[in-house]
Amino acid sequence: MSTARDRRLKRGFDVALAVLVLGLTSPLLALAALGIKLTSEGPILYRAKRAGLHGAPFEMLKFRTMPVGSDRSSAITAPGDQRVFGFGAVLRRLKIDELPQFWNILSGDISVVGPRPEDPAIVARDYTDWMRETLSVRPGITGPGSVYGYIYGDALLDPADPEGSYARALLPPKLALERAYLDRASLRGDLGYIALTAWAICAHLLGRPVALPRADVAAARRWAPQGPYPKPASQRA
């Protein structure tokens, strides 16, 4: 999406979808907010510090799923993380905790599809030159890296060393897929990843396999040849 027209089209699509999603899920948002208030002391929303377009910092909104202050011990949530309270675990498993990020779309911080926004400390410490190329576009709620996390996040993260294992095992292939998609990004491709995200969430709950677009898996090996990568889809997104 390199032309001004393409960027305007993407922005218009992002805003329209954000308004639609926030309108349709408003009862769910209210229930989630009430559940957090009844089960945990503190604010309803968690404002996560993230690196946005060109690395500019912003606050990404999420429903709070941990006690206040527990994020100081680690920026990465490992499988079975004891910091997550009960109702928060339900929100995370169903990805309901991510819904407030559609407000970030309206404010222009992120897009629907784009590289997953990262903690600025991880960007400064762990990003290599090619990884920083993913900061050239607005980050997104979903995209190749998000889907990859649904597939491999639990398997590649070590609960004893969540940040170290994330940087070593999960970050390189995740960002390689994000970088690969930048070379072929389009509104049609975005729609494909939105559909793939919906399937990945359902597949994760059902224990079913998820395939990624063949073009992105093949190109990602240029930057992170070790993977691991799932079996690519027979058709491109």
What is the DSSP secondary-structure string of 79-103? TT-TTS-HHHHHHHHTTGGGTTHHH
Residue 105 forms part of a structural domain: yes
CA distance linking residue 196 with residue 233, whole number of Å: 11
* Residue 70, domain member (yes or no): yes
* Residue in this structure with the two tokens 């946005």, named with its chain if needed: 52
pLDDT score at 164:
94
Question: Is 235 a domain residue?
Answer: no
- How, if at all, do strands 45-51 and 57-63 pair? antiparallel
pTM value? 0.91
Q: Give me the average pLDDT of each 10-residue run along the chain (237 residues).
A: 84 97 97 97 97 97 95 83 94 95 98 97 97 97 94 88 94 97 95 95 86 94 92 50
Q: How many domains does the chain have?
A: 1
* Domain extent for 13: 4-220
**Structural domain includes residue 231:** no
- Helix extents (H) in the chain: 4-24, 26-39, 86-93, 101-107, 120-126, 129-132, 144-156, 162-165, 171-182, 187-206, 214-220
Contacts of 235 (CB under 8 A, 6+ apart): 213, 214
pLDDT for the residue 23: 97
Query: Tell me, what's the pLDDT at 237?
Result: 43
pLDDT of residue 78: 81
Tokens 């930048």, located at residue: 182
User: What is the model's pLDDT at position 232?
Assistant: 55
Instruction: Answer whether residue 45 is part of any domain.
Output: yes
54 close to 123: Cβ distance less than 8 angstroms: no
Cα distance between residue 165 and residue 43, in whole Å: 30
What pLDDT is stored for residue 80 in this prediction? 83
227 in a structural domain = no
**Rounded distance between C-alpha atoms, residue 156 and residue 149, angstroms:** 9
In a domain, 17, yes or no: yes
Separation CA 222–CA 235 (nearest Å): 20
Question: Does residue 37 lie in a domain region?
Answer: yes
